[in-house]
Structure formats: structure tokens, C-alpha cells
Amino acid sequence: MTRFLALFALILALALPARAQDLATLVSDRLEITGDTALIADGNVEVFFKGRKLTASRIVYDQATGRLEIIGPITLTEASGKIMILASQAELDADLNEGILTSAKMVLNQQLTIAAERIMRTGNGRTTLETVAASSCKVCKEHPIPLWEIRARKVTHDEAQQELTFDHAQMRLAGVPIFYIPRLRMPDPTKDRATGFLMPSVRSTSELGTGIKIPYFIALGRSADLTLTPYITTKGSQTVDLRYRRVFANGTIEMNGAISRDSLVPGSTRGYLFVDAAFKLPLNFGLTVKGQTVTDPAYLLDYGIDTADRLDSRIEASRTRRNEHISARIISFQTLRDSEDNTTIPSIISDLTFHRRFSLGFLGGEGGLRFQTHNHVRTSSSPLDGADSDTIADGRDLARISARIDWRRSIFLPGGIEGVVLGEATADAYRISEDAVFNGKTTRSHGSVGVELRWPWVKATDSGVTHVIEPVAQFIWSPSNFETLPNEDSVLVEFDEGGLFQLDRFPGSDAVERGPRANVGISWTRYDPNGWTLGVVLGRVYRNADLGQFGPGSGLAGQQSDWLAALSLDTGDGLGLTARAVFDQDLALTKGEARLSLVRPKTSLSGSIIWAVADPTENRPDPTQEFALDAQRKFGPNWVGKLSGRYDFAADAGTVAGLGVEYMNECVRFGVSLSRRFTSSTSVTPTTDFALSLDLIGFGSGASGGPARTCRQ
């Protein structure tokens, strides 16, 4: 008999006339009614009722008893789709709510499988499973023992509370019993957040010894949670880590911190606190809050929290539109460097910026207006430069108001040449206090005008390759008056392809580039139809006179700057390279850097090298020559190896090195890592760090599963 559809409540309408609106749908190969009360559906049976779906090979319904006898294989899927029961046979009521299933399995959220001799369903949303083995690991003939499982006499699943309760539970790893718990309660995989313990992790360092972290997660309603993590080590360290998160209607906040007592700083309570928050404000403004503080310079490194050597706390409100940017911020710095003193660095900084772009009507082109205020204070009150000998008065406080207007207009000339007229003018008012050299109020005005000529040449070959060569010459005039203001925000100057044709290469407002000059350069870009691109830039700056405004490490010092050469490569298949070098007439390298990135299905790699000569004006008394590497390689579908390191060529010694291995499949994530920090100072010593972590997928660990093991047919 062909399959047919009984759209009228052919089974359940007889049993539930008072709820005839709750109709069932039945699909089967054959349907038979025997006597007055029995209905038999046979062959590829499917029943749909109140969102549930039941499939079986045979169903017998007896109206007199209101029961269903079901012959398997049976699959019962709940309306949520997150709970599925498999069984060989069953006896259920007409609502599919109550009854007994034998030789059954319950699958939760397609992760955790609970196999049982018998499953008993009750109408109150509770399901009891007897003689249970629970695991999220795939089992095959060639590996019939799961990597981990929980055996129990009985498991109770509360669907409303999304909880599992194990009676007489035994944890097994690779079939070996590890520990026994008389009663174990935990959230099921369908629950996103639940109060309880998370998976522990092990960390061992040469300074703190071996310790274990046991996180305890506390759900504080639907929009907040708190995680407390005790951490106790063999060398006497006692720590409690905390993480608090909360979501608001217009933003989020997260706080991370810790309190410690250890033998590294005997008799002292150590700790840190980091706060990050972001909120949406009216008029499309955004508010960000960032707070960072620590009790001592070595704490973050000792406990593997962060490698920062300066802490940056700030509150900022900003809005960015197509032609406008507005921001107001207050910043506080805390230095962890041995060479710096918190009393002599700017401790509180406040900025206000308004920047607007607009068209200039009959003048043509585009103009800009920027208004900015800046204030910073130091806690020291000394007007002289102290023991740090940084040429800055220890107590210097500064306030500045700046205004800048600029204009740029392009004109196309014969022969495909693009001519650009550009200029800008700035005005600054300063108030400086607690400085024996610069104390008082002063003003400054400055302007620059220039012309720029670009002549792009384009050639397309028969193979589809496109070449673009563009020579550029820029002629700038600005006054050569001597600078009489302190420079604190424009010390580090980058000479790169992005700043080769700028009116002012100083990054801040304290210094301005002075004197007539010519910026010249040429670029070549090759576009390949196979998707890869190669670009090369070469340029230099010529000055009317050397005004001594740049340091030797910038590459811009002298009447003629060093040569700038830059290269970029993007193959379109995951390989990218950027490199730039600044070298003098004798081809001696002043500054150079290169970055390589490779992203492939099995391999990812990023490496960088930096080379810079010593320059006291940039607070770099020694040369910088470093190489850094971070690599990851997949070995098969489940194994990942990781390697990282940093080497200081100037010191001829390694800085940090790390090695790690991770295994991940459908039911477990296991990781082990070893790292070594070689650097030392008055605050920290070289440290070796070993970490071990294990996540069991399927019990609310938050970890996502990896590729499942394959079974031979």
C-alpha cells in the first residue's frame, strides 16, 4: 500500500476530544483499524504533534488504554530540537509525555549522549534514565571505549531547569575509573549559563611552583555573571581571580582582577584590576571606559596575566561620521618600567578634539578644520630635570589650545598629469608651569603651502597583467623660524610610504616640520590576473637647509634625508609581505622592518623583524635589533602545534620562547604549553611557565568541539 497522510487527528483526536484543536499528523506506509478502539500504523511511521516528531517502524494505539506501543528503531525529537531520544521499543501515552523506552539513548544539543537500559518519561518534564553511560565521544568498533565517560546508576533530566543529576557517578578516562561522586548535578548542554564549577587547569612556574585553578561560575540573573577562581601553588601562593560581566540595554562592562599573597613579596597583598566598558550615548555618541591598575610592577608577569610595561586607564566619549570626528577623553598612565618614575611622567591627560571636513564652494577642493585642547599634569613639583636625565623638567605641567585649517584641490593637466594645490595653517596657545626653562604662556603660528605633481603611467599586457608607475614630486614651503616650545608628543617620527608626501611628518602638535623642502618618490604596482599584487615605493626628502629638527634614528635628519624603500606583496592565497628600509648614501641601514604573514588551511605563520640605530632623542640609547615569530601547524584533523619566540640580536639573547600542543575532537580539548621569559630587571627574573588544560565538551565548558574521529565501515 502506498504511503498516505492522515491530516485529521487520526490518533490523538479520538483520545483527546476536549483538545481537538491539538491535531496530530501521521504518515505511514500502511494504516489499519481493528475493532472499535485499536489503530495500527506500519512501515516508515512519522508522527508530528505539538512540535514533537516521532519516527518508528510500527505504532499500535489502543483508545481504551490511551497508550501507544511503539516498535523501533524509534526516534523522538522534542519541539526545541535540542533533545532527541533513540530507542528500540517504547510504551507511551498519547501525548508522548509519559511512558517507558527500553535500550534507549538521549542526545542533548547534538553533543552529549546518555545511553541507558531504560528511560522513563513523566508528565512533569522530568526524565529518568537507569544504568547509564554518558559521554560526548564518538564510539566505533575500532575504539569502542570513549576517551571519557560518566557511569551512573541513575540520571534524572529536568527539562525545565535544564539540569542533569547523576546518582552514584563514576568518572572514567579511557575506560579507567578516576573518581567517584555519590551525587553529581550539572547543567545539560542545552543551557548556556548555570552556576557551578568549570573545568580546572594546571599551571606551573619556576617562581610560583605548581598550582591548580578551579573556576566557579555564578550566574547573576540573565544579564550578569561572576567567576571566582582560587589558585593555590606549591610555593605558598594563594590567589583568587575574579571576572565580572554585565550586559545593559545600551552597553557592556567587564572587570577582571585578582588578589594574591605569595613568597615573592612576603607580607604584602598583591593584585590587579582591569575594567573595560562600552556604552551607546544619545546623538550617536559612544562612551568607552578602560581602567588598569596593579599593586607592583612584577605582578602581571609573575602570574602570566599581561606583558604590558605601561598601564593605560581612560574614559572617552566620541562620535565619527563621514565628514566629522568629535572626541573627549581623560587618560591616566601608570608605568611599570624600572627606568621611569610615576611622579615624573604625565599622570593625568585630557584631550578634546573636533575635526570637520567640508567642500570650499567656488574655491573648489576640500578643506578641513580641527580644534583641539590638551592638558597633562605630573605629580612631581620639581621645575628641574632630575635623576632620569630625560631633558624634561620632572614637574612640567602643560596646557595647549590648537586650531588648524587645511585645503587641498586637484587639477588635471595635459598629458594625464594631476596637479594638487595644498596648504595648512595652525595656531597654538601654551601655558607651561613648574618648568625652569619653558615656564609661562606663549603662542605659536605656523603655515605651509605646496604643490604636488603626479604622473601615473599605466600599461596592460596581453596576458592580463597591469603595471602602474607613478612618479610624484611635492614642493613645500614653510617658515624656518627656530622652535622654542617643548616637544613631548612628537618625539617618535616614522618615515614610511604613508608619510612621504605629508605636509607635516610629526605625529603630534608640539613640533611642526619647518623649512622649504621637496618630497620626491616613485611607485610601481603590478596587478596580476591570478589575484596577486606587488608594490614598490622609493623616495627621499630634499631640504633647503638642515634645521636640526629630526633625530638620527628617524631617517629624516640632514639637508637630504635617507632613502626610503618599501615593498608590499599580497599573493591572494594567504601570503602577505610588507617591508620597508631607510638607508643613507652609503647604503648603511638606519631603520628597517619586515612583516610576513602566511595563512593556509594547515599552517599559519606571522613573523617580524625590526632594525633601528640608537637615538637618544627617541629614548633609544641602544640599537634595536629584534626578531619575532608566531607559528601554528595542524598535524592531522585533531592535533595542532604552536611555536612562538622573540630574539634580541643586539643583546645576543632570546627574550621569550613558547611551545604548545593542542588536541581537540568532538568530545575533548586538551592543551599543554611551555614558555620561557629570559628578560630580567630589578622587578622580575627569568621565568619558566608550564600550563595544562582540559575541557570536556558537552558539559557547559564553553569550548567548541573539533573534528570527530572517523569510524571504519
b/e map 62-95, b = 16+ CB within 10 Å? beeeebbbbebebbbbbeeebbbbbbebbebebb
Q: What is the domain partition of the chain in residue ranges?
A: 4-196
Distance, CA of 437 to CA of 423 (rounded, Å): 33
Residues 125 and 138 sit within 8 Å (Cβ to Cβ): no
Q: Which set of grid coordinates corresponds to residue 303?
A: 602570574
Q: In this structure, what are the phi and psi dihedrals at residue 288, rounded to the nearest 5 degrees?
A: -120, 140
Whole-number pLDDT of residue 34:
82
Give the pLDDT of residue 702. Answer: 53
Please check whether residue 197 is in contact with residue 185, taking contact to mean a CB–CB distance below 8 angstroms.
Answer: no
Three-state secondary structure call for residue 608: strand
Provide long-range contacts, Cβ within 8 A and 24+ apart, for 344-350: 344/378, 344/380, 344/386, 344/388, 344/390, 344/392, 344/394, 344/395, 345/378, 346/376, 346/377, 346/378, 346/488, 347/377, 347/378, 347/379, 348/376, 348/377, 349/374, 349/375, 349/376, 350/374, 350/375, 350/376
Cβ contact 125:160 at 8 Å: yes
633: which strand partners? 603, 641
Instruction: Report the alpha-carbon distance of residue 657 to residue 624 in Å, rounded.
Output: 19
The residues pairing with 233 across neighbouring beta strands, listed in sequence order, are 211
CA distance 237 to 350: 39
Give rounded-to-5 percent helix, strand, coil for the chain: 5, 60, 40
C-alpha cell at 57: 517502524
Distance CA 582, CA 590 (A): 5
Amino acid of residue 677: R
Residue 1: the pLDDT is 37
What is the residue-wise DSSP string for 65-126? Answer: TTEEEEEEEEEEE-TTSSEEEEEEEEEEETTSSSEEEEEEEEEETTTEEEEEEEEEE-TTSE
Q: How far apart are CA 473 and CA 451, in angstroms?
A: 8
- Upstream peptide bond of 215 is cis (omega within 30 degrees of 0): no
Determine the Cα angle at 112 with ends 106 and 118, to 5°. Answer: 25
| CA terminus-to-terminus distance, the chain | 34
Cell of 88: 528500540
d(CA 684, CA 299): 9
Cell of 231: 589558585
CA nearest to 482, candidates 566, 548, 394: 548
Q: What is the pLDDT of residue 536?
A: 98
In the block, residue with C-alpha cell 602643560: 398
* pLDDT single digits (tens) 211-239: 999 999 999 988 999 999 999 999 999 99
The list of the chain residues with pLDDT below 50 reads 1-21
204 CB-side CA count, 13 A: 7
